[in-house]
Amino acid sequence: MTAPLIVLVGPMGVGKSTVGALLAERLGTAYRDTDEDIVAAEGRTIAEIFVDEGEAAFRALEKRAVHRALAEHDGVLALGGGAVLDEETRALLAGHRVVYLSMDVEEAVRRTGLNAARPLLAVNPRRQWRELMEARRHLYESVAAAVVATDGRTPEEVTQAALDAL
């Protein structure tokens, strides 16, 4: 394994990609995103993978992509919002510096509520957000060395808070 990575976890739409790229720039290191790895490898969007093969198949692809990135990458890595559902992935994250970017449900609905590209929010965004947050908050917390709240903060402010927390 390479040196510990800075790994960003947290719900979709919280700003992992934007903050990840900013963090990498500030640290003079490389940025990588496991959702992008999956799309590049599959030649399909995440939404298409969900529709074609279902969530379980996507999770298997995601697990492989995350484990590969953790082994190969050197720098800042953003994980898809559901990557922490996998127990082996959570165990692997123990070797890295994990930052949980958090937001409250209303902020989440504001940011992503109408975004049909996100398959998990297609039906009733507010209810689905509440359920997702309840199911996952403790998983994000369990792997995180630092929690950075993003509500009402710009990506630059979140990036600075993450740097301060690390």
User: What residue type is 66 in one-letter code?
Assistant: V
Nearest distance from C-beta of residue 166 to ligand S3P, angstroms:
21
Q: Where are the alpha helices (DSSP H) in 94-145?
A: 105-112, 125-143
How many Å apart are CA 15 and CA 91, to the nearest integer?
Answer: 24
Residue 81 lies near ligand S3P (rule: CB under 6 A): yes
Q: Is 26 assigned to a binding site?
A: no
Per-residue contact string for residues 14-33; x = within reach of ligand S3P by CB under 6 A? --x-----------------
Give ∠ CA 120-122-123 in degrees, rounded to 5: 110
Given candidates 15, 20, 82, 125, which one binds ligand S3P under the rule CB under 6 A?
82
| Min CB(146)–ligand S3P separation in Å | 18
Measured from the CB atom, is 139 or 164 closer to ligand S3P? 139
Question: Cα–Cα–Cα angle for 48, 49, 55, nearest 5°?
Answer: 125
Q: Which of 80, 89, 101, 158 binds ligand S3P (CB under 6 A)?
A: 80
Q: Is 150 a known ligand-binding residue? A: no
Q: Which of residues 33-62 bind ligand S3P (CB under 6 A)?
A: 35, 46
Residues 163 and 39: their CA atoms lie apart, in Å, by 29
